[in-house]
Chains A and B, each alone.
Chain A
Amino acid sequence: MSFAQPLALRSGAAIADYALAYETYGTLNAERSNAVLVCHALNASHHVAGSYAGQPRSEGWWDNMIGPGKPVDTDRFFVIGINNLGSCFGSTGPMQTDPATGRVYGADFPVVTVEDWVDAQARLLDALGIDALAAVMGGSLGGMQALSWTLQYPERVRHAVVVASAPNLTAENIAFNEVARRAIVTDPEFHGGHFYAHGVLPRRGLRIARMIGHITYLSDDVMNEKFGRELRSAVEGAASDGRYRYSTQEVEFQIESYLRYQGDKFSEYFDANTYLLITRALDYFDPAREHGGNLTAALARASAKFLLVSFSTDWRFAPQRSREIVKALLDNRRNVSYAEIDAPHGHDAFLLDDARYLGVVRAYFERIASEIAP
């Protein structure tokens, strides 16, 4: 969907003539009361559920959560996925041409924040004729958008489902983002963010950024269980008798092979400038900031009912951070339920099948559905 009207951004800049890619699932009811907005995190998109015809392995990134008969049941809800501004999956982003200059945006793409995304999403809902959302939901950075929705447009959100998220990033978390950004920016093929003109991609930087990210999305336990100290040669069945290669640069351990594979895959489809933009949006998000760091004061604006979920081994968005949001909501006497799932998978758990997690979300959406039913 194209937007001619400029969108004012938190940075003071504005973006005109932009487009947002979106998908919808299910049917909007006559009262327009069953809409659920699903917000995506760093490397996902508007394609939240279902598969594209004739394209095997094209399942949406939250296909285990959303669909007919699933916890967020598209037989009852009208689900909307929107690719955020600055991303690289169809919405206007750094890879596109700036109509004002006729050149590819590249590093000149304006810095966007979680709040800007929410404003852009709200405009898209306006165009769809949706005044109020039955629910807004998201995990990780998507959860930050869901939380921000309840503060920016409190009258338009009845329920917010915030999974594996946080009220802001800790110093350690910003530090991880910064290492990833430095990996990209210092790649000789980055060319100050204008690599498109040179016909190259800063793949090395993106690979390393992804490798770091991947480590932080898993837990020590799950990595040990999956890879342990297993040698690559053992997996390949080479006649090495499990001996070390005594090489500093060859892949020796399975975990190295896995990370390199993930990095390679990622560097082929993800835009380097988008990575910088989205990690910055994560860093900047801090609704308590304009309230002197007081999250309770910040969340006083929210009137939605909340479900929060966190995972015990998630150290990137630890349960403690979700509890801070819960506490601020309790202080404001808002309706809130909170499930802390004891799962081994780290931050990644929010995308995985866990009967307790999916069960709680399902039960919560049944409650939302019962409120909608006439």
Chain B
Amino acid sequence: MSDDNAQRLIASLVPHGARVLDLGCGDGALLALLQRERGCTGYGVELADGNVLQCVQRGVDVIQLNLDEGLSIFDDASFDVVLQIDTLQNLRNAEVMLRETARVGRTGIVAFPNFAHWPNRVRVARGRMPVTRRLPYQWYDTPNIRVGTYKDFEVLARKNQLRVLDAFGLQDGREVRWLPNARASTAVFKFERK
């Protein structure tokens, strides 16, 4: 997901000049891109010390917080866009965080590994958990504690009264709009509150 093309694809979903909150912003590269090329403003939220440092070095404002403690520091509808790129699957309370994303932002954009991607299905059919380029971890050391699929997210969005504005898969830096649940290793959803 650190792939340049994928990052640009995600960035293209964010309107020019938007006020953005990037949850789990990593080294701040996406926010820096959004500031530089799309005139966006905003903040990243990150837990890891090394990433916080890199954000400051890039000139990206970053708030060091544990997302599992919630987003109470952010006001309702205080951002145009809230990003959760490769973050949701690491959170213990993923559903709460999804609701919080919808509370804080007018629009949410979520990207996460799609466990229904066909190579994963093949591995599970053979009786083993998938270990791929996208999911390079063993079952016992993976940070991806919320294992879900493209289709699963559609169900979760409906359950939480989220209107999906756009959804597609990402594979090798390209959009996958035909059978994304089987053909893409990453699921991308753009949504708003109903």
- Give the contacting residue for A367; candidates B59, B74, B78; CB below 8 A: B59
User: Contact at B75–A340, with CB atoms within 8 Å?
Assistant: no
Query: Is B63's CB under 8 angstroms from A363's CB?
Result: no
Contact present for B78 and A360 (CB under 8 Å): no
Q: Does A327 contact B (CB under 8 A)?
A: yes
Pick from B56, B65, B74: contact of A363, CB under 8 Å? B56
- Segment among A5-13, A82-90, A330-338 that sits at the interface with chain B: A330-338
Residues in A neighbouring B75, C-beta threshold 8 A:
330-331
**B61-113 contacts to A (CB < 8 Å):** 61-65, 73-75, 78
Contacting residues, chain B, for A99 (C-beta < 8 A) = none
Shortest Cβ distance from residue A281 to the other chain B in the assembled complex, whole angstroms: 28
Measured between beta carbons, the chain B residues less than 8 angstroms from A331 are 75, 78
Tell me the smallest distance from the CB of B120 to a CB of chain A, in Å.
35
Chain B residue, CB-CB nearest to A306: B61
- Report the Cα distance A364→B64, complex, angstroms: 15
Question: With a CB–CB cut-off of 8 A, which chain A residues contact B166?
Answer: none
Give 1 or 0 for each of B107-135: 1 = CB within 8 Å of chain A CB: 00000000000000000000000000000
Contact of A336 with B73 in the complex, beta carbons under 8 Å: no
Question: Please, what's the 1-or-0 string for B44-66, where 1 marks a CB less than 8 Å from any CB in chain A?
Answer: 00000100110111010111110
CA distance A364 to B55 in the complex (A): 10
Is B191 in contact with chain A by the CB < 8 A criterion? no
User: How extensive is the interface on chain A, given as a class?
Assistant: 20 to 34
Which residue in B57, B64, B74 is a CB contact (below 8 Å) of A339?
A: B64
Decide yes or no whether A366 CB sits under 8 A from chain B: yes
Q: For A327, what are the chain B residues with a Cβ–Cβ distance below 8 Å?
A: 73
Docked-complex contact A360 and B56, CB < 8 angstroms: yes
Cβ–Cβ contact B56 & A338, under 8 A: no
Asked whether, in the complex, the Cβ of B56 is within 8 Å of the Cβ of A364, the reply is yes
Complex formed: what's the CA distance from A366 to B54 in Å? 12
> Is the C-beta of B189 less than 8 angstroms from some C-beta in chain A?
no
CB-based nearest B residue for A335: B61
Question: Which of A336, A342, A363 is the one whose CB lies under 8 Å from B61?
Answer: A336
**Cα separation A335 to B62 with both chains bound (whole Å):** 9
User: Which of A337, A341, A360 counts the most chain B CB atoms within 10 A?
Assistant: A337
CA distance A338 to B62 in the complex (A): 6
Whether, in the assembled complex, A356 has its beta carbon less than 8 Å from a beta carbon of chain B, the answer is: yes
Q: How far is the CB of B174 from chain A (nearest CB, A)?
A: 34
Of all A-B residue pairs in the complex, the 3 with the closest CB atoms, nearest first, are A363-B56, A363-B57, A340-B64
Known: A326-B63, A338-B64, A340-B65; 15 extra A-B contacts, CB below 8 A, are A323-B73, A327-B73, A330-B43, A331-B75, A336-B43, A337-B55, A337-B62, A339-B56, A340-B64, A341-B49, A342-B49, A360-B56, A366-B57, A367-B57, A367-B59
Chain A interface residues toward B at CB < 8 A: 307, 323, 326-327, 330-331, 333, 335-342, 356, 359-360, 363-364, 366-367
Q: List 10 A-B contacts (CB under 8 A).
A: A326-B73, A327-B73, A330-B78, A333-B19, A337-B55, A337-B62, A337-B63, A339-B64, A367-B56, A367-B59
Interface residues of B (CB under 8 A from A): 19, 43, 49, 52-53, 55-57, 59, 61-65, 73-75, 78
